[in-house]
Structure 1
Amino acid sequence: MADGISSFWGPVTSTKECCERNYVYSSYVAEFYNTISNIPCIILALIGLVNALRQRFEKRFSVLHISNMTLAIGSMLYHSTLQRVQQQGDETPMVWEVLLYLYILYSPDWHYATTMPTFLFLYGGLFAILHSVFHFGLGFKLHYVALCLLCIPRMYKYYIYTDDRAAKRLAKLYLLTLILGSLCGILDRVFCNHVSSWPLNPEGHALWHAFMGFNSYYANTFLMFCRAQQRGWNPKVASMMGILPYVKIEKPKAQ
């Protein structure tokens, strides 16, 4: 805690803290940069949601973008308070979001329509209950990484079966932001003692938030393109103001 600034939220009760100093700028925000760095994720998810609704994509993609926003808001609440309850509100949606990605990735080839969503829903609910009771630490991290690794083979399959160069570029941007974000997160976690002695803290965890906001957007956009191809909607990757890519579709009149 910075000298002369007291905490509005009381003592830290969360089981993990990042390398950023607490309550430097305000008694209401514990980790300032780790809090505001979630804003890009919210904005990008909102842009994706508007595009999904405007072009009438399947509801799964609207839910996915809303999930990204919910996760970012939960992360903001956690990093601004460093309380155990808010930590649960950050970590549990992380697992729920990956379960949603697993559904979107694997459901097109799943022959039993209700089995997968029912199983994933029950799995997510059970995890939330167990995590709130046992407060998994390292177990949570290993579990989350394992779920993320399950997504990668399917993403790679979509990549190799996609001929569109712009869509492949989305997949490459997804991988690039994932690698850069992970490196920033590792820097903040493992080398905190060294980073803290630098004249300027690079705020690796805040950079992780920013990179993962773009990572989620690129992943969502790539999956929307692949799903539109499966549905025969003639998708194309366009750009918003020449910068931000999005998927533009042409549905047959019968649809």
Structure 2
Amino acid sequence: MPSWLPSIPYPPSQDGYWSPVTSTLNWCEEDYYATVYSAEIVNTLTNLLFVYLAIKGIANCLRNGHDGIFLVTFIGYLLVGVGSFLFHSTLKYPMQLVDELSMIYTTCLMFYATFSYGKTRQYAFFLGLFLVSLAAFITGYYHYLQDPVFHQNMYALLTAIVLFRAMYVMEVSIRPSLRHTGRSVAIEKMDGAAGATERVEQDREDRRDEDILRHMWIMIACGLSIFLGGFAIWTLDNEFCPTLRSWRRQIGLPWGILLEGHGWWHLMTGTGAYFYITWGIWLRHCLNRRQDEYDLVWPQVIGTLPMIERRRIDSNGSLQNGTTKKKL
């Protein structure tokens, strides 16, 4: 540790208010070194990002009239953060279940939102019944096994299925070259001013949708990169825990906090998941052919997060012109 960089030694671990540990997992952060009321203080407090982003997302859904499934998803996202906060504070097995199973349930909500769109009520009902049954099975089997690898594999599988399905739907439903071949043929058969007007409108919509797709892929790349980066740090934290603990004690506090890999996992996966839900909201509006009613608000600079906002109405009662906005 450089002599010019002030630090204080790590306090020793101790028994805490919630002792003994009953969870099947105990992460690399040392237990109860900072306070007797929180087993893993950094892993606990980093979950406040989930709470903040969940409140931000819920408020955005209510303010802008996004589909109700995304409001419920943000509530599930909030439960993930609260559950993880309680789990890392206590390291109790019931709180571990709240943390990990809420991740499964929230992903099932996004699964429903992705696969039920445009389907019949009967299809949506049976899909919902299947997902409820799947969630119940995962809950019961995980409680029986008490093997975190099972939970991690199920979460990864569900997330991958939903992600790739949403990418497919985005491309075939929005990309002009894949979407409106029939419309193009019909316009070609139209004569005079009506045909010219339709061609102009189609060109405008094509440019709009190409711009939307470009920004959607940027969102996907950012969210996925942040999420996978968090997973990489989480893996390193698990594999090299003894070394990291030694380094943290050598450099002292507060700098040792920067080597708390599971805390970075919370910050990065929370951010990546927020990107994903926001992308899902925008995709749903595009599938509903409401691109001209909503804007992406995202300056695309470090530290900013995207939001989907309803376009303002001018004094004449018309929607303001424009497509994708990048603003503060």
TM normalised by structure 1 equals 0.90
Q: Which residue of 2 aligns with 1:57?
A: 66
Partner SS, residue 66 of structure 1: helix
- Indicate whether 1:138 and 2:149 are aligned: yes
Cα RMSD for the two superposed structures = 2.4
CA distance 1:125–1:4, shift in 2 (3 Å)? closer
Residue in structure 1 matching 2:51, options 42, 52, 75:
42
Q: Which residue of 1 aligns with 2:272?
A: 215
Residue in structure 1 matching 2:307, options 237, 246, 252:
246
CA distance 1:241–1:174, shift in 2 (3 Å)? closer
Q: Which residue of 2 aligns with 1:231?
A: 288
> Counterparts in 2 of 1:58-207, with a 5 A limit?
58-111=67-120, 112-158=123-169, 160=171, 163=210, 164=212, 165-198=214-247, 199=250, 200=256, 202-207=259-264
Write the deviation string for residues 181-236 of structure 1: whole angstroms up to 9, x where unpaired. 11111111111122122133611110000011111111111111100011122232
> Counterparts in 2 of 1:13-52, with a 5 A limit?
13-52=22-61
Structure 1: segments with no counterpart, 5+ residues: none
Distance 2:145 2:224 in 1: 33
Distance 1:197 1:159 in 2: 47
CA contact (8 A) 1:34 1:205 kept: yes
Distance 2:310 2:285 in 1: 7
Distance 2:63 2:282 in 1: 15
CA contact (8 A) 1:159 1:171 kept: no
CA distance 1:11–1:226, shift in 2 (3 Å)? same
Write the deviation string for residues 148-198 of structure 1: whole angstroms up to 9, x where unpaired. 221231233255455313333211111111111111111111111221221
Distance 2:31 2:310 in 1: 46
Partner SS, residue 307 of structure 2: strand
Partner SS, residue 308 of structure 2: strand
Structure 2: segments with no counterpart, 5+ residues: 1-9, 175-209, 251-255, 318-328
Partner SS, residue 197 of structure 1: helix
Partner SS, residue 27 of structure 1: coil
Q: Which amino acid aligns with 1:214?
A: T
Q: How many residues align?
A: 253
Q: Which amino acid aligns with 1:65?
A: F
Distance 1:133 1:141 in 2: 15
CA contact (8 A) 1:64 1:97 kept: yes
The structure with higher relative contact order (CA 8 Å, sep 6+) is 1
TM normalised by structure 2 equals 0.71
Task: Mark the structure with the bigger radius of gyration.
Answer: 2
CA distance 1:192–1:241, shift in 2 (3 Å)? closer
CA distance 1:65–1:32, shift in 2 (3 Å)? same
CA contact (8 A) 1:178 1:215 kept: yes
CA contact (8 A) 2:14 2:31 kept: no
